[in-house]
Structure 1
Amino acid sequence: MLLISLYYLYHLLFLLFSLGLSRPLTGTPAGTGQNRLAVFMPAHNEENVIASSVRSILASRYPGNKFDVYVIADNCTDRTAELARAAGALVLERENKTLRGKQHALKWAFEQINLDEYDAVVILDADNHVHPGFLGVLDHYLAAGHKVIQGYVETKNPGDSWVTANYAYMFWYLCRLQMARTRLGLSAWLAGTGLCISTDVLRRVGWNVTTLVDDVEYTCQLLLSVPVFYLLPLLAERVRIRRAWTYLLTAGAFFFTWIPITAYGVVTCDQKSWWRTRH
């Protein structure tokens, strides 16, 4: 009972603290475009959404010669690869009936390109749309020395139903907690999408994710790979101490995800997401 009480007290205190924090304007602070980025979108039979998602990224206010969009068409049986390519993405088509799912698709994709040509990779879901300044904000924090960055997620359609409104609140609540952790100099927990990882980190830690909860698993791998963490109250910027770093949530790097408008749609969507991982 004590542990449960402490858990909820932690959430309450961090939430109250976060309410006093102001978010930067969406798309700020923007970098100068000095980092070269590889954006990866794992997709399994996503022909209904992939083209608009690719166009959303390609419309970013970021130098066109400084980023590439890769769609990983993973065991697709529909027109995902064709539509992604027509929308302007570089398509990596993968067929593997044994190692299926997002985590394996990403590991395979990282091995298909020369990561030395990029400063960082960005991972997005196939139905994500990004704010035009999303990549620019990531560039700013990469230039400042941050190695792992989590973007701020919101629901694209919060007013469609009570289901989407509930998801919108959940995203707001979780991102607020992460803002508090970042302001206190603590590591943010990564989500499964909207994250940016320096290629230096990928070379050091790798991408060896095998579970369904790839976001939690990779967060733990990162934490275990760096032995020293320091709490620096009220400092948001990462401070290097014996090669330690924290993982930042940046509220200015803004992206959206679509949510089904009915409870049945949420259940079937979640089942589909799990099936994608083990299809």
Structure 2
Amino acid sequence: MSIGWIVINIIDIILFAIVSLTVAYLTVFSIAALFNRRTGVPAAKHQNRFIILIPAYKQDKSIEQTVKTALGQTYPQRLFDITVISDHQKEITNFHLAQYPITLLTPNFASSTKAKSLQLAINNLPQFKIYDIAIVLDAGSVVEPEFLQQMNDAFETAGTKAIQAHRLSKNRDTAIANLDAIFEEINNSVFRRGHITLGISAAISGSGIAYDFKWFKENIMKTNTGWEDKELEALLMRQHIYVDYFDHIHVYDEKTRQSADFNKQRGRWASTQLRSLFSNARYLPAAILKKRYDLIDKIIQWMLIPRTIMVAVMVLMSIVLPFIYLTLAVKWWIMFAVTMLVLAIATPDYLVDDKWDKSFFKAPFIMLVSLLNITKMIRRKKNFENRN
């Protein structure tokens, strides 16, 4: 047997093992999501006081709509305040925002991160005001008039310090936007609905999440990277705090429309996942010994190959291997079929329409191109860092 053939077999076995573990994980939680039977949430006996934080970095086109929907709540206005952190936005945008009954902060960070914006907001809250819950929304997010009332009811029902709302897409006007919307709902099925069905913490997504205010005020100061949501998620898990998820509390976000933005987004997420793993892997042995299943699951989750890369690898191996040795490709074809079935199970019915047909079957090829672009982006970043 030649060395080249041995190398091909080793690569094939390693890649297939990695992909198989990820597919198995997705399968378990996709099926679990089908059995989620949470019924209506009873009305809370107590009305909490909310602070809504909206970091906005160069979001001039969408921030005003977010503010309007946040202000248009059925919840008593005396029980919530809104702070917008308008970073590197146009003067005319800040002028318009200043007309609303909100607190407007206009930093001009040399190196902008969401963590810095949220820390600035917390440090500038009036000392005489007492809040119970902090909610973080992205600039561009749209919420329904009942959003705060639903969050208030959910917090009393959950009895925990963190709740993730159901993020949905507010646009499906391109194939990329529709694919992004499908992926968002698959995330909700696998990493949120499926998890809470099995009694494991839901994943947070950085927007549409509510925290116990005291916990958030203390812990947001511990974040110092561009991926503060994963830092907060790790802190929640390490502190043994359960993250609940409520499917009926909707937050609508605008999805990327162009493939270039889609590729950048996936590349950034893959990098964030890797950094999260490196930062928290050392906690795995202690988590296993202490049976902290939420933290174990989270670290395993960060170990999994990102789905964009996973599907791209499957497509690549399915196309290339038949030209090398047909028998090696068969298992990849089977794995690809299983993966498509699992992703279809995790996709809610309302997305299964004529747009779904076009996007779903284009997805493997979009992901393959995405993988190639992500590789180029990483190479360019390394070259830039070497030059500097």
Q: TM-score if structure 2 supplies the norm length?
A: 0.59
Contact 1:29-1:137 at 8 Å conserved across structures? no
The amino acid that maps onto 1:224 is R
Residue 134 of structure 1 corresponds to which residue in structure 2? 147
Q: Equivalent residue of 2:75, what SS?
A: coil
- SS of the aligned residue for 1:86 comes to coil
Q: 1:212 to 1:206 in 2, by over 3 A?
A: closer
Shift of 1:155: 0.5
2:32 alignment partner AA: F
- Would the alpha carbon gap of residues 126 and 179 (structure 1) be closer, same or farther in structure 2, given more than 3 Å must change? same
Q: Is the 8 A contact 2:85 2:104 kept in 1?
A: yes
1:188 alignment partner, SS class: coil
The aligned counterpart of 1:229 is: none
Aligned partner of 1:85 among 78, 98, 107: 98
CA 1:53–1:33: 2 relative to 1, 3 Å = farther
How many angstroms does 1:136 deviate by?
Answer: 1.4
- With 54-63 and 110-119 compared, the bigger mean Cα shift is at 110-119
Is residue 164–residue 259 contact of structure 1 (8 Å, CA) maintained in 2?
Answer: yes
Task: Tell me how far 1:51 sits from its aligned partner.
Answer: 1.3
Quick one: which of 223, 229, 239 aligns to 1:225? 239
| Inter-partner Cα distance in structure 1 for 2:268 and 2:139 | 13
What is the rounded CA distance, in whole Å, between the counterparts of 2:97 and 2:37 in structure 1? 37
Q: State whether residues 37 and 122 of structure 1, in contact with CA within 8 Å, keep that contact through their aligned partners in structure 2.
A: yes
Q: Which residue of 1 aligns with 2:120?
A: 108
Task: Quote how far apart the aligned CAs of 1:138 are.
Answer: 1.3
TM-superposed deviation, 1:205? 3.2
Structure 1 23/55 Cα, relative in aligned 2: closer, same or farther at 3 Å?
farther
CA distance, structure 1, for counterparts of residue 167 and residue 22 of structure 2: 24
Q: CA offsets, 1:92-138, max 9 Å, x none?
A: 222332x5221111111111114761001100111000122221121
Q: CA deviation at 1:152?
A: 0.6
Check if 1:60 corresponds to 2:73: yes
Q: Distance in 2 between matches of 1:33 and 1:153?
A: 26
Q: Note closer, same or farther for the CA distance 1:54–1:269 as it changes in structure 2 (3 Å cut).
A: farther
* 1:155 aligned residue: 169
| Equivalence map 1:191-206=2 (5 Å) | 191-206=205-220
Question: Cα gap change, 1:63/1:96 in structure 2, threshold over 3 Å: closer, same or farther?
Answer: same
The offset of 1:31, in angstroms, is: 4.0
Alpha-carbon separation, structure 1, partners of 2:43 and 2:33: 23
Q: Percent of counterpart pairs with the same letter?
A: 22
Tell whether 2:240 aligns with 1:249. Answer: no
Distance 1:18 1:95 in 2: 43
Q: RMSD over aligned Cα, in angstroms?
A: 2.6
Q: Which amino acid aligns with 2:94?
A: A
- Residue of structure 2 equivalent to 1:44: 57
**What are the ranges of 5 or more consecutive residues in structure 1 without an aligned counterpart?**
227-244, 274-279
Q: Which residue of 2 aligns with 1:146?
A: 160
Q: Any idea what the Cα deviations from partners look like across 1:199-257, whole Å, max 9, x if unmatched? A: 1312553432222222222111221233xxxxxxxxxxxxxxxxxx3111111210101
* More relative contact order, 1 or 2 (CA 8 Å, 6+ apart): 1
Of residues 189, 193, 196, the one that matches 1:182 is 196
CA–CA distance in structure 2, aligned partners of residues 223 and 63 of structure 1: 33
Where 1:139 maps in the other structure, the secondary structure is helix
Confirm or deny: 8 A CA contact 1:182 1:188 kept in the other structure.
yes
Larger radius of gyration: 2
Once the two structures are TM-superposed, the CA of residue 167 in structure 1 deviates from its matched residue by: 1.1
Q: Structure 1 length normalisation: TM-score?
A: 0.80
- Which structure carries more helix by proportion? 2
